[in-house]
Amino acid sequence: MLKKISKVLVVAITISILILLLPEKGVADYPIFSQRFTADPTAVVYNGRLYVYCSHDSDATPNQSTYNIPDITCISTDDLKNWTDHGEVFNAKRDSQWASVSWAPSIVYRNNKFYLYYGNGGNGIGVAVSDSPTGPFKDPLPRALVTMNTPGVQPAQNMWLFDPGVFVDDDGQAYMYFGGNGQNNIRVIKLGNDMISTVGSAMSMSAPRFFEAAFMHKYNGKYYFTYASDFSQGASKIEYMMSDKPTTGFQYKGVLLPQPPDNYSNNNHHTVVEFKGNWYVVYHNRTVAKQRGLDPVYQRNVCIDQMFYNADGTIKQVVPTVDGLKQLKYVNPYTKNLAVTIHKESGIETEECSEGGRNVSFIENGDWIQVKGVDFGSSGATSFEARVASNTNGGNIEIRLDSPTGKLVGTCKVEGTGGWQTWTTKTCTISGATGVHDVFFRFTGGSGYLFNFSWWKFNTDAEPTPPPTSTPTPTPTTPPLPSPVPVTERSAFSKIEVEEFNDIKSSTMQKIGTAGGGSGIGYIGSGDYLVYKNIDFGNGANNFKALVATTQTTTNIELRLGSPTGTLAGTLKVASTGGFNAYEEQSCSINKVTGKQDLYLVFSGAVNIDWFTFGKDSGTIIVGDANGDGKVNSTDITAIKRHLLRVTPLQEENLANADVNGDGNVNSTDLSLLVRYILGEIDAFPI
């Protein structure tokens, strides 16, 4: 493979005294993966991880004159910053009985299996199946699933038969949307329950300026058909339509994602996915090829940004951000971590590992990998171990903090092991690694390839934290209970994942996977309860909402304060959803609750629950009025500055007013927009 060289150029720009007071932004979220060229993403959530599958733009021929997509690459994350490389999980020539290439996949988890749909160029659509999200995927059919001879596909004018977008509705019916090259060249066909057969004829759809990348998702009962537009109005964009039905009645609503930076006004392809309570759009641009001085047309890389809905169900136009996503959890350095779980890299490749999974390979002097947000704790690390192999004289792993040339806390010497897959574990001492840091593993040595790197782990002399005494210890014959999380203040008006409780009373509860690919709590019995401490209700909550599933008709969730028999704030009388995997949002009104409270969810019977949140009567919002004086002026700039510097945090309506871009957070972006508004550079906020 072509060796990859990535360089990061940091340009310091002085903008204003106000912005200088704020935290500095980092490098862009794109590319999120750079050791292979990737495009046309699709995604599925499984067991708390987000898996993204991509067309693999081969780099075997630099500056090639057409697309070369022999296989499909899979990457995954649980924190949105560090991505695990699972390799090429499907290769058409190897894993299909009929296809030669695999373009623009679509992934669905159903029937305890993963179904990966793909295009054989523009000449037919196939399906590959696996029991695991990371493969191996195999096509069970000796032919394409959809061809030009499939009923309903014709007549079409020069239709491209590719870009499948598979969607499973709440009633269990699966649909495949596909087509390209013309606004009337969209088809949708029902899939059988086995997910490898079609039912009936394909139906026609139409969308303004439709070009390719058909995709469907559902939110709050509405159907969203999103697609890549043609070039009739300049660069291709991701646009969308809405309907109350999955195949008819769509109305055009506008642009979801404009032409992203570094995409050279070229094509795009996207997917929309919900992960841990938020919505994201994954797409591609051509940053990596640009950085490497290659022709960027046919070698692309994946990107991700958060997506937000308006109150009327329409979608706020996504703005590609610079380091716009928050890291959802810190990396625990005291467990084994795969070396192929990376935030950024320079120079490395990956390959299949004889001990399972993949390893970092083709390492040369000066190469490095970055792991973002590693929490060493207050006691810190005292030693480091790495699983390595070398068919040469080896080299060194320098462990540095916060940059490739940052603080050196240890150096692990790697000697030859007699083979590139002959593995051994090397150790070294560590000094000065405490708190949260980005960790850079910088590789040094002689010329040529140095060694391969499979996993790493830090160790500490600190005593392990004992389990909470308030959590019952299950006997070997009972299922393990989920573990409580540390007590932190949480807003009642945020989406609270039910498994993030602080205490529990049950002998049967388990953490479970939920239908959307997330996680929740199940096996709940009468009298069981969950405790959420230090929940901030502010000036008052008036209603409660939860995502639940049950077959029962008499199950209640009591909301009590202070204890399992404390003040009853309200009761959600859970209606049957028709199944323990059929999740619905259900809500109830409650007596007004204010201030900080310990919340108890007390259950009267069997129900599965994914998340919950509280709401309140809406007040008057004046966008930009951060100090609540009814005006938008320079005093509001001061109020937001003091909030960001944690001098005087904003509360309630003032906090909502300060969120001038409507993304649910108050940060430096809001401050910058407010400054521009007051200076007259913009005449409205993007909300």
Quick: pLDDT tens for 491-532.
888 889 999 999 898 877 888 877 656 788 988 888 899 999
CATH number assigned to the domain covering 490-615: 2.60.120.260
* pLDDT for position 472: 34
Segments of 152-221 assigned E as strands: 165-168, 174-179, 186-191, 198-205, 210-219
Specify whether the CB–CB gap between 280 and 287 falls below 8 A. Answer: no
* pLDDT for position 649: 79
Q: Where are the domains of the chain?
A: 35-316, 337-459, 490-615, 619-686
The count of other CB atoms within 10 Å of the CB of residue 444 is 16
Q: Which fold has domain 337-459?
A: Jelly Rolls (2.60.120)
pLDDT tens digits, 108-148: 999 999 999 999 999 999 999 999 999 999 999 999 999 99
Query: Is there a catalytic annotation at residue 78?
Result: no
Compute CA distances 223 → 108, 176, 202, 252, whole Å. Answer: 17, 14, 18, 12
| One-letter amino acid for residue 83 of the chain | W
What's the token pair of residue 534? 């230090």
Collapsed DSSP state (helix, strand, coil) of residue 671: helix
Rounded (10°) angle between helices 634-644 and 668-678: 170
Q: What stretches of 116-205 show up as alpha helix (H) in DSSP?
A: none
| Dist. CA 8–CA 42, nearest whole Å | 28
| Dist. CA 526–CA 507, nearest whole Å | 11
CA dihedral 169, 173, 179, 182 (to 10 degrees): -60
Collapsed DSSP state (helix, strand, coil) of residue 159: coil
* pLDDT for position 16: 33
pTM of full prediction above 0.95: no
φ/ψ of 413, rounded to 5, equals -85, 130
Cα 522 from chain centroid (whole Å): 24
Active-site option among 29, 40, 85, 212: 212
Specify whether the CB–CB gap between 300 and 38 falls below 8 A. Answer: yes
**Which positions of the chain have pLDDT values less than 70?**
1-30, 322, 462-483, 515-517, 617-621, 646-647, 652-653, 663-664, 687
CA dihedral 370, 371, 377, 383 (to 10 degrees): -70
| Dist. CA 102–CA 87, nearest whole Å | 15
Collapsed DSSP state (helix, strand, coil) of residue 147: coil
| One-letter amino acid for residue 607 of the chain | V
* pLDDT for position 653: 64
pLDDT tens digits, 412-446: 999 999 999 999 999 999 999 999 999 999 999 99
Contacts of 82 (CB under 8 A, 6+ apart): 331, 341, 342, 343, 371, 372, 373
Query: Is there a catalytic annotation at residue 212?
Result: yes
| Domain 337-459 and domain 490-615 have a common topology | yes
Q: What stretches of 400-542 show up as alpha helix (H) in DSSP?
A: none
Specify whether the CB–CB gap between 673 and 647 falls below 8 A. Answer: no
Collapsed DSSP state (helix, strand, coil) of residue 461: coil
In angstroms, how far is the first alpha carbon of the chain from the final one? 46
Active-site option among 29, 57, 71, 364: 57
Classify strands 608-615 and 567-574 as parallel, antiparallel or unpaired.
unpaired
Q: In the CATH scheme, what is the homologous superfamily, with its name and number, of domain 619-686?
A: Dockerin domain (1.10.1330.10)
CATH number assigned to the domain covering 35-316: 2.115.10.20
